[in-house]
Amino acid sequence: MNVRITKADESRLSACHEVFLDSALYDHYFSQEGRLDKQLSTAISRGELWIALTSQDEVAGCMWIEPTGFFGAFPYLALLGVKKSFRGAGIGHVLLETFIGVSRSLGYKKCSLLVSHFNPRAKNLYQSLGFKKVGYVPDCILPGIHENIMVKDL
């Protein structure tokens, strides 16, 4: 699918929220009222939230890139989601390619992300783009949710 990647502003907050509805990520991390919107607003205010827009100007996906989020060493993909009606259409791939490109353009030699144990489909996508598992953290952010640390050499 052909999409345009751009940075989000506050006018897109609601549309970005909708991206995560009907997802395991939402169910595990964001079902608490206001938690997702707080994170999205923080990313927008920092100029770090990117969105994939369709030709009809619909938000099909979004991602939060923290430029020095991995211990200040290299970029970290803090959040990635694709709206249910667009899943399987290559939006996640396009967003990840953008993340990799932004990381390179900032002069970094690596980029990183976490992927939850309950999300093998996302882990497979990341691996297909060259991300390698370098660690595993049980109960990383919330009890019962384990995270794979993945890094890509650029």
pTM above 0.85, yes or no: yes
pLDDT value of position 7: 98
Structure tokens at 28: 């595990």
C-alpha span between 149 and 132 (Å, rounded): 8
**What are the pLDDT tens digits along the chain (154 aa)?**
899 999 999 999 999 999 999 999 999 999 888 899 999 999 999 999 999 999 999 999 999 999 998 889 999 999 999 999 999 999 999 999 999 999 999 999 999 999 999 999 999 999 999 999 999 999 998 899 999 999 999 9
C-alpha span between 46 and 49 (Å, rounded): 8
C-alpha span between 123 and 128 (Å, rounded): 9
